[in-house]
Amino acid sequence: MNWKTFIAGIAVGAAAGYAVNETLHRTVSVSAETVLAKVKKAFKENGPIDGSWIQMTEEDYEKYPFKTRVYKGGVSLTKDGEKKQYEFIADAKTGTVLDVYPI
C-alpha cells in the first residue's frame, strides 16, 4: 500500500464518519397530529371531548432558561354539565406536554 492510497482511505473514512454523525444527531420533530392524539387521549380519561385543535407549525418557545420549539393547541370538553376549554403547549421534538391551562 502506498501513501496516496492510505491518505485517500483516511479522507474517505473521515467523510463517512462525519456524515453518519450528522445523520444521527439530526433533530426530528414529532408530528402535530401525534401530539394532538396524545393530548386527546389524556383528556378523554376525564370525559368526552367536544372539540380540539392544534397549530400545524412549530413555534419558538422560551421560558427562562429553556428554549425549544413547540406546538400550541386546545381542547374543549363538557365536565359536570359545564363546557370547559383548555390550551396546551407541547414540545415539538418529544411530544411532551409542557403546560396546560384553562381559558
Spatial distance between the Cα atoms of 90 and 75, rounded to a whole number of angstroms: 13
Nearest to 70 by CA among 96, 90, 98: 90
Question: Model-level pTM?
Answer: 0.71
Share of the chain above pLDDT 70, in %: 91
**Rg, Å, the chain Cα set:** 23
Domain boundaries, the chain: 29-102
Which regions in the chain score pLDDT beneath 50?
Answer: none
Annotation: CATH topology of 29-102: Nuclear Transport Factor 2; Chain: A, (3.10.450)
